Amino acid sequence: FSLIFQVLLGIFFNVHSAVLIEDVPFTEDDFKDGPERIYRLYEQVSYNCFIAAGLYALLGGFSLCQGRLNKRKEYMVR
């Protein structure tokens, strides 16, 4: 579920969802020059979510491979 959640968060941050403004690391100065700085911060958080989703996928795939290798009979301890 974490993979799906991270991908959805990445999509919602990428479309600059107003609901997620509390999760964007901004300062008072970021609001002075217009919305472009805030949009860049949204996109940076979006990239971070996609990177986290990729890591979840890689580690999940690795874990699945390890689980299958450990189930083989020639690796079983008698």
| pLDDT per residue rounded down to tens, the chain (78 residues) | 789 999 999 999 999 999 999 999 999 898 888 899 999 999 999 999 999 999 999 999 999 999 888 887 666 666
pTM of the model: 0.81
Nearest Cα residue to 4 out of 50, 62, 61 = 50
> Can you give the pLDDT at residue 70?
81
> Can you give the pLDDT at residue 4?
93
Distances (CA, A) of 69 to 3, 57, 58, 63, 76: 23, 18, 17, 10, 10
Instruction: Give me the residue spans of the domains in the chain.
Output: 1-16+34-75
